[in-house]
Amino acid sequence: RSLASDPGFSRRFRAHHRRNPPLIGCLVYDFCQVRFQPTLERPNRVPQSRFPFPIAAGGRFRILGCRHGLVLIFHDSQKQLLVWDPVTRDQHSLDIPPGFNKKTLMNAAVRRAIGDFHHFQVVLVGNSDMQCTQAVASVYSSSTRVWDKLISTPLPSENSGAPTMVYPGMPAVMVGDSFYWLLCGNSQGILEFDLDKQSLALIPMPMGNTADMRDGNIWVMLAEGGGLGFVFLRGFLVQLWKRRTSCKGVASWLLGRTVELDKLLSLNLEKQIECPRILGFAEVNNVVLLWTLTGIFTVQFELLHFKKVLESKHWYSYYPFEGVYTMGALVVGHMELKHCTICKLISPDRHAIVM
C-alpha cells in the first residue's frame, strides 16, 4: 500500500497507461455550469465531485477539448487559454500571441509533450489579424514558455461577407501527428495542422457542403485501419469515410461501411422522436459519443461495439475525458489493478503483477 500511494508511483502509473487510458467520464456543459459525469462502473468509478471546474459559474469561457489528461479552455473574459489538469489541479494560463484576429473564432488543441509527461504543447489556430482570408497557427511549449512563429495558409474566399473560420462546435481531433478542425462560415472544410512538418493545409469534406454542422451530425475521427476518417450521420444512417492517397500521390475520400443505428442500438423508432446526434469523439478508445432519447452511447464502429454510459434526455455539450486517476491508495484507470505492469505487486487473488 505504501508503494501504491507514493506520489512517484502515481506519476509513473499515469505516464505508463497514457498509451491506453480509459474513458473515465465527460465534462458536461449545460449552458449554466460545467460538471464532471463519470462513465466507469464501480469500483473504478470516479466520484462526480472530484473534478471541480476551475472557472466560476457565470464566467465567459469555451471548453476547447481534452487530451492526455489535460483540459484546454478559452477564457473569453480574459482572452487567455487555460490548460487544466483535473487530477493534479495544476493550471497554466497562456496569453493569445500577436497575429490572431480576436474578433473571429479561434480554436486550439493540447497534448502532452512526447517523452516528457511533465510538459505540454498547445496549438492555436484562427484567422490572421492582417488578412481574414488567411488561417494562422502557432505552437506553445511549456518547456520553453514561448509561442513559435506564425504559420499561415489561404482560406476559401467568396464575396459573401462572412469569413471562413474554425468551427467552435467540434474540438480538435488528433490523428497521427496532425490536428484537425472543421471550418465554417464562408466555406466548409477541414483544417489540418501537421506537428512534424509545422504546416497548415485545407482538406475538402467528403460530401461537400451538404452537411449541417449545427445538427451535430459530422465529425472528424480515426478511420478504420488508421488514418484520417470522417463520420456523417443522417437520420439513423451512419456513413464512415476514409482519406486515402493513391500511388500517384492523389488524395481522395473513400466511403467505407454504412451502419444502421436503429438496428445496431436496438432503438425503437416509434418512440425515438428525435434523431441521434454526435456529441464527441474519444481518440484513444476510438469511440464516438452518441446521443439518443434512450441515453448516451459510446460506439466503436470498427468492431461494432456499443455501450450505454449515461442517462440524458438533453444533448448538452459533452467533452470525453480519457485519463488515469489516482485516489489515495486506490488507482483508477485500469479495469483491474492486477493488470498494472509498473511495479511488482501481489494482488489479493494472488495474481502476480510483474514489471
Query: HSE-up of 172 (CA within 13 Å, CB side)?
Result: 29
Cα distance between residue 209 and residue 129, in whole Å:
26
Domain edges within the chain: 60-207
pLDDT score of 17: 53
pLDDT score of 287: 95
Cell 451512419 -> residue? 238
Decide if 151 contacts 197 (C-beta within 8 A): no
Omega before residue 43 within 30° of 0, cis: yes
**Of 162, 171, 143, whose CA–CA distance to 27 is shortest?**
171
Residues 6+ apart with CB under 8 A from 125: 106, 107, 108, 135, 136, 137, 166, 181, 191, 193, 200
**Of 128, 239, 253, 245, whose CA–CA distance to 189 is shortest?**
253
Cα distance between residue 149 and residue 147, in whole Å:
7
Would you say how long the chain is, in residues?
Answer: 355
**Helix residue spans in 129-204 (DSSP H):** none
Cα distance between residue 5 and residue 2, in whole Å:
5
Q: Distance from CA of residue 54 to its chain's centroid?
A: 19
Decide if 34 contacts 53 (C-beta within 8 A): yes
Amino acid identity for residue 20 in this structure: N
The tens-digit pLDDT sequence of the chain (355 residues) is 677 667 666 666 655 555 678 999 999 998 788 999 999 988 888 998 899 999 876 678 999 999 999 999 998 877 899 999 999 999 999 999 999 998 888 999 999 987 777 899 999 999 999 998 999 999 999 999 999 999 999 998 766 567 899 998 899 999 999 999 999 887 889 999 999 999 999 999 887 655 566 666 899 999 988 999 999 999 889 999 999 998 888 999 999 999 999 889 887 665 666 788 999 999 999 999 999 888 899 999 999 999 999 988 777 899 999 987 665 434 444 333 333 433 333 333 333 232 2
pTM of the complete model: 0.85
- At residue 239's C-alpha, the angle toward residues 108 and 234, to 5°, is 85
Residues 6+ apart with CB under 8 A from 115: none
pLDDT score of 349: 35
Cell of 247: 500511388
